[in-house]
Amino acid sequence: MAEQKALLVTGGAHGIGAGIAQRFADAGYAVAIFDIDGDGATRMAETLRSRVPAIAIEGDVSSEDAARGAVEQTCAELGRLDVLVNNAGIEIEGDVARMTIADWDRQIGVNLRGAFLMSRYAVPKMRARGGAIVNISSVHAFTSYAGYPAYDASKAGLLGFTRCMALDHGPEGIRVNAVCPGYIDTPIMDRWLETVPDREEALRQVLKAQPLGRIGTPRDVAEAVLFLASDAASYISGAALVVDGAMIAAGH
Protein backbone atom coordinates (compact mmCIF):
# COMPACT_ATOMS: atom_id res chain seq x y z
CA MET A 1 0.00 0.00 0.00
CA ALA A 2 1.34 3.45 -0.97
CA GLU A 3 2.52 5.67 1.86
CA GLN A 4 0.14 8.52 2.63
CA LYS A 5 1.28 11.83 1.17
CA ALA A 6 1.27 15.06 3.17
CA LEU A 7 0.19 18.61 2.34
CA LEU A 8 1.21 21.83 4.10
CA VAL A 9 -1.07 24.76 3.23
CA THR A 10 -0.53 28.27 4.52
CA GLY A 11 -3.54 30.42 5.30
CA GLY A 12 -5.48 27.18 5.54
CA ALA A 13 -8.02 28.18 8.17
CA HIS A 14 -10.38 30.11 5.91
CA GLY A 15 -11.38 30.80 2.32
CA ILE A 16 -9.30 29.34 -0.49
CA GLY A 17 -6.84 27.75 1.94
CA ALA A 18 -9.61 25.92 3.76
CA GLY A 19 -11.00 24.72 0.43
CA ILE A 20 -7.57 23.38 -0.50
CA ALA A 21 -7.21 21.58 2.84
CA GLN A 22 -10.62 19.96 2.44
CA ARG A 23 -10.03 18.88 -1.17
CA PHE A 24 -6.64 17.32 -0.42
CA ALA A 25 -8.16 15.50 2.56
CA ASP A 26 -10.83 14.16 0.19
CA ALA A 27 -7.95 12.87 -1.98
CA GLY A 28 -6.41 11.08 1.00
CA TYR A 29 -3.59 13.45 1.94
CA ALA A 30 -2.54 14.06 5.51
CA VAL A 31 -2.91 17.81 6.03
CA ALA A 32 -1.02 20.48 7.96
CA ILE A 33 -2.83 23.81 8.27
CA PHE A 34 -0.58 26.79 8.99
CA ASP A 35 -2.37 30.04 9.79
CA ILE A 36 -1.94 33.17 11.88
CA ASP A 37 -5.43 32.37 13.19
CA GLY A 38 -4.53 29.45 15.42
CA ASP A 39 -8.08 28.83 16.60
CA GLY A 40 -9.34 28.75 13.01
CA ALA A 41 -6.56 26.35 12.02
CA THR A 42 -7.46 24.10 14.95
CA ARG A 43 -11.14 24.04 14.00
CA MET A 44 -10.29 23.19 10.39
CA ALA A 45 -7.92 20.40 11.43
CA GLU A 46 -10.58 18.97 13.71
CA THR A 47 -13.07 18.79 10.84
CA LEU A 48 -10.58 16.76 8.79
CA ARG A 49 -9.42 14.27 11.42
CA SER A 50 -12.32 11.89 10.91
CA ARG A 51 -10.87 11.19 7.46
CA VAL A 52 -7.11 11.86 7.55
CA PRO A 53 -4.34 12.86 9.93
CA ALA A 54 -4.49 16.64 10.29
CA ILE A 55 -2.57 19.14 12.38
CA ALA A 56 -2.91 22.86 13.08
CA ILE A 57 0.09 25.19 13.29
CA GLU A 58 -0.24 28.79 14.42
CA GLY A 59 2.15 31.38 13.06
CA ASP A 60 2.95 34.20 10.66
CA VAL A 61 4.42 33.15 7.31
CA SER A 62 6.51 36.32 7.17
CA SER A 63 8.45 35.16 10.24
CA GLU A 64 11.47 33.00 9.44
CA ASP A 65 11.22 31.12 12.72
CA ALA A 66 7.53 30.42 12.20
CA ALA A 67 8.03 29.26 8.60
CA ARG A 68 10.88 26.96 9.56
CA GLY A 69 8.90 25.62 12.49
CA ALA A 70 5.84 24.90 10.35
CA VAL A 71 7.87 22.78 7.94
CA GLU A 72 9.67 20.96 10.74
CA GLN A 73 6.44 20.26 12.62
CA THR A 74 4.75 18.97 9.48
CA CYS A 75 7.56 16.50 8.82
CA ALA A 76 7.78 15.47 12.46
CA GLU A 77 4.06 14.83 12.95
CA LEU A 78 2.98 13.71 9.48
CA GLY A 79 6.21 11.96 8.56
CA ARG A 80 6.89 13.71 5.26
CA LEU A 81 6.11 16.71 3.07
CA ASP A 82 5.00 16.19 -0.52
CA VAL A 83 3.04 19.31 -1.38
CA LEU A 84 3.44 22.90 -0.20
CA VAL A 85 0.73 25.40 -1.09
CA ASN A 86 1.74 29.00 -0.48
CA ASN A 87 -1.74 30.43 -0.11
CA ALA A 88 -1.48 32.88 2.80
CA GLY A 89 -2.15 36.41 1.62
CA ILE A 90 -3.47 39.78 2.63
CA GLU A 91 -4.85 42.68 0.61
CA ILE A 92 -4.09 46.26 1.65
CA GLU A 93 -5.62 49.10 -0.36
CA GLY A 94 -3.97 52.46 -1.01
CA ASP A 95 -2.04 54.16 -3.80
CA VAL A 96 1.66 54.85 -3.28
CA ALA A 97 1.05 58.37 -1.98
CA ARG A 98 -1.38 57.16 0.71
CA MET A 99 0.03 53.76 1.63
CA THR A 100 2.35 53.70 4.61
CA ILE A 101 5.74 52.07 4.34
CA ALA A 102 4.67 49.67 7.08
CA ASP A 103 1.64 48.60 5.03
CA TRP A 104 3.80 48.10 1.93
CA ASP A 105 6.28 45.99 3.89
CA ARG A 106 3.49 43.97 5.49
CA GLN A 107 1.84 43.27 2.12
CA ILE A 108 5.06 42.12 0.48
CA GLY A 109 6.10 40.33 3.67
CA VAL A 110 3.09 38.06 3.81
CA ASN A 111 2.38 37.54 0.12
CA LEU A 112 5.92 37.26 -1.29
CA ARG A 113 8.43 36.89 1.54
CA GLY A 114 6.13 34.29 3.12
CA ALA A 115 6.22 32.15 -0.02
CA PHE A 116 10.01 32.47 -0.13
CA LEU A 117 10.47 31.48 3.50
CA MET A 118 8.13 28.49 3.32
CA SER A 119 9.77 27.28 0.11
CA ARG A 120 13.26 27.81 1.52
CA TYR A 121 12.60 25.28 4.27
CA ALA A 122 10.31 22.95 2.29
CA VAL A 123 12.63 22.31 -0.66
CA PRO A 124 15.30 20.41 1.34
CA LYS A 125 12.57 18.17 2.77
CA MET A 126 11.29 17.33 -0.72
CA ARG A 127 14.61 16.53 -2.39
CA ALA A 128 14.69 12.86 -1.40
CA ARG A 129 11.44 11.89 -3.12
CA GLY A 130 10.42 14.96 -5.12
CA GLY A 131 7.39 17.10 -4.53
CA ALA A 132 5.21 19.94 -5.72
CA ILE A 133 4.89 23.58 -4.70
CA VAL A 134 1.88 25.62 -5.75
CA ASN A 135 1.87 29.37 -5.23
CA ILE A 136 -1.48 31.13 -5.07
CA SER A 137 -1.10 34.28 -7.14
CA SER A 138 -4.04 36.21 -8.63
CA VAL A 139 -5.48 37.71 -11.79
CA HIS A 140 -3.88 40.87 -10.34
CA ALA A 141 -0.61 39.45 -11.70
CA PHE A 142 -1.93 40.09 -15.23
CA THR A 143 -4.37 42.99 -14.93
CA SER A 144 -4.28 45.79 -12.39
CA TYR A 145 -6.93 47.65 -10.43
CA ALA A 146 -6.50 51.18 -9.12
CA GLY A 147 -5.47 51.41 -5.50
CA TYR A 148 -3.65 48.09 -5.12
CA PRO A 149 0.01 48.66 -6.08
CA ALA A 150 1.46 46.55 -3.27
CA TYR A 151 -0.98 43.69 -3.79
CA ASP A 152 -0.45 43.70 -7.56
CA ALA A 153 3.33 43.80 -7.11
CA SER A 154 3.24 40.88 -4.69
CA LYS A 155 1.07 38.73 -6.93
CA ALA A 156 3.04 39.51 -10.08
CA GLY A 157 6.22 38.80 -8.13
CA LEU A 158 4.94 35.35 -7.26
CA LEU A 159 4.87 34.44 -10.95
CA GLY A 160 8.53 35.32 -11.44
CA PHE A 161 9.34 33.47 -8.23
CA THR A 162 7.41 30.43 -9.50
CA ARG A 163 9.22 30.32 -12.83
CA CYS A 164 12.68 30.63 -11.32
CA MET A 165 11.99 27.99 -8.68
CA ALA A 166 10.79 25.65 -11.41
CA LEU A 167 14.15 26.04 -13.15
CA ASP A 168 16.23 25.74 -9.99
CA HIS A 169 14.48 22.72 -8.50
CA GLY A 170 13.13 20.79 -11.48
CA PRO A 171 16.35 18.72 -11.61
CA GLU A 172 15.61 17.72 -8.00
CA GLY A 173 12.19 16.38 -8.93
CA ILE A 174 10.31 19.35 -7.50
CA ARG A 175 7.67 20.95 -9.69
CA VAL A 176 6.60 24.54 -9.01
CA ASN A 177 3.46 26.15 -10.43
CA ALA A 178 1.07 28.99 -9.70
CA VAL A 179 -2.70 29.32 -9.63
CA CYS A 180 -4.22 32.73 -10.36
CA PRO A 181 -7.78 33.06 -9.05
CA GLY A 182 -10.23 35.74 -10.08
CA TYR A 183 -13.23 36.71 -7.97
CA ILE A 184 -13.71 33.96 -5.39
CA ASP A 185 -16.37 33.87 -2.67
CA THR A 186 -14.12 34.20 0.40
CA PRO A 187 -13.86 36.36 3.54
CA ILE A 188 -11.49 38.70 1.64
CA MET A 189 -14.24 39.37 -0.91
CA ASP A 190 -16.73 39.91 1.92
CA ARG A 191 -14.44 42.47 3.52
CA TRP A 192 -14.10 44.30 0.20
CA LEU A 193 -17.88 44.41 -0.23
CA GLU A 194 -18.17 45.98 3.21
CA THR A 195 -16.11 48.96 1.99
CA VAL A 196 -18.18 49.84 -1.09
CA PRO A 197 -21.12 52.28 -1.01
CA ASP A 198 -23.62 49.83 -2.55
CA ARG A 199 -22.93 46.15 -1.90
CA GLU A 200 -25.64 44.86 -4.22
CA GLU A 201 -24.56 47.06 -7.10
CA ALA A 202 -20.95 45.99 -6.61
CA LEU A 203 -22.02 42.34 -6.78
CA ARG A 204 -23.99 43.03 -9.96
CA GLN A 205 -20.93 44.60 -11.56
CA VAL A 206 -18.77 41.65 -10.53
CA LEU A 207 -21.23 39.19 -12.04
CA LYS A 208 -21.37 41.20 -15.28
CA ALA A 209 -17.63 40.63 -15.60
CA GLN A 210 -18.01 36.84 -15.33
CA PRO A 211 -18.62 35.12 -18.70
CA LEU A 212 -19.56 31.94 -16.81
CA GLY A 213 -22.22 33.88 -14.93
CA ARG A 214 -21.08 33.13 -11.38
CA ILE A 215 -18.44 33.96 -8.81
CA GLY A 216 -15.85 31.28 -8.17
CA THR A 217 -15.69 29.10 -5.07
CA PRO A 218 -12.73 27.91 -2.98
CA ARG A 219 -13.44 24.43 -4.37
CA ASP A 220 -12.85 25.72 -7.92
CA VAL A 221 -9.37 26.86 -6.93
CA ALA A 222 -8.70 23.74 -4.87
CA GLU A 223 -9.40 21.48 -7.85
CA ALA A 224 -6.79 23.36 -9.90
CA VAL A 225 -4.25 23.12 -7.08
CA LEU A 226 -4.86 19.39 -6.63
CA PHE A 227 -4.39 18.84 -10.36
CA LEU A 228 -1.07 20.71 -10.41
CA ALA A 229 0.14 18.74 -7.39
CA SER A 230 -0.90 15.39 -8.86
CA ASP A 231 0.83 12.93 -11.16
CA ALA A 232 -1.61 14.03 -13.87
CA ALA A 233 0.47 17.23 -14.08
CA SER A 234 3.86 15.47 -13.96
CA TYR A 235 5.13 17.40 -17.01
CA ILE A 236 3.82 20.79 -15.92
CA SER A 237 6.17 23.15 -14.09
CA GLY A 238 6.77 26.88 -14.17
CA ALA A 239 3.19 27.45 -15.31
CA ALA A 240 0.46 29.84 -14.18
CA LEU A 241 -3.07 28.43 -14.30
CA VAL A 242 -5.76 31.13 -14.34
CA VAL A 243 -9.00 30.23 -12.53
CA ASP A 244 -11.23 33.21 -13.24
CA GLY A 245 -14.23 32.04 -15.26
CA ALA A 246 -12.78 33.74 -18.39
CA MET A 247 -12.87 37.19 -16.76
CA ILE A 248 -9.47 38.23 -18.15
CA ALA A 249 -10.36 36.81 -21.56
CA ALA A 250 -13.38 39.11 -21.51
CA GLY A 251 -11.14 42.12 -20.93
CA HIS A 252 -11.96 42.73 -17.28
Looking at the predicted structure, is the pLDDT value of residue 170 above 80? yes
Looking at the predicted structure, is the pLDDT value of residue 236 above 90? yes
The answer to whether the Cα torsion of 135, 138, 142, 147 is positive or negative is negative
Summarize the confidence of residues 223-232 as an average pLDDT: 98
- Assess contact for 56 and 36: CB atoms under 8 A: no
DSSP H or E segment with residue 56? strand 54-58
Looking at the predicted structure, is the pLDDT value of residue 158 above 50? yes
Give pLDDT, residue 86.
98
Q: Using CB atoms within 10 A of its CB, is residue 171 exposed (0-12), middle (13-18) or buried (19+)?
A: exposed
pLDDT tens-digit map of 33-80: 999 999 999 999 999 999 999 999 999 999 999 999 999 999 999 999
Annotation says 29 is catalytic: no
Give pLDDT, residue 145.
83
pLDDT tens-digit map of 203-219: 777 778 888 988 899 99
Give pLDDT, residue 48.
98
Give pLDDT, residue 192.
66
Summarize the confidence of residues 77-101 as an average pLDDT: 96
pTM for this prediction = 0.94
- Which residue in 154, 207, 209 sits closest to 178, CA to CA? 154
Q: Which of 29, 121, 148, 151 is catalytic?
A: 151
Looking at the predicted structure, is the pLDDT value of residue 1 above 50? no
Residue 136 phi/psi, 5-degree rounding, is -90, 105
Give the residue with greater pLDDT, 251 vs 43: 43
pLDDT tens-digit map of 103-154: 999 999 999 999 999 999 999 999 999 999 999 999 999 988 889 999 999 9
Looking at the predicted structure, is the pLDDT value of residue 101 above 80? yes
Mean pLDDT of the chain: 94
Domains of the chain, each with CATH number or no CATH:
6-183+217-243 (3.40.50.720)
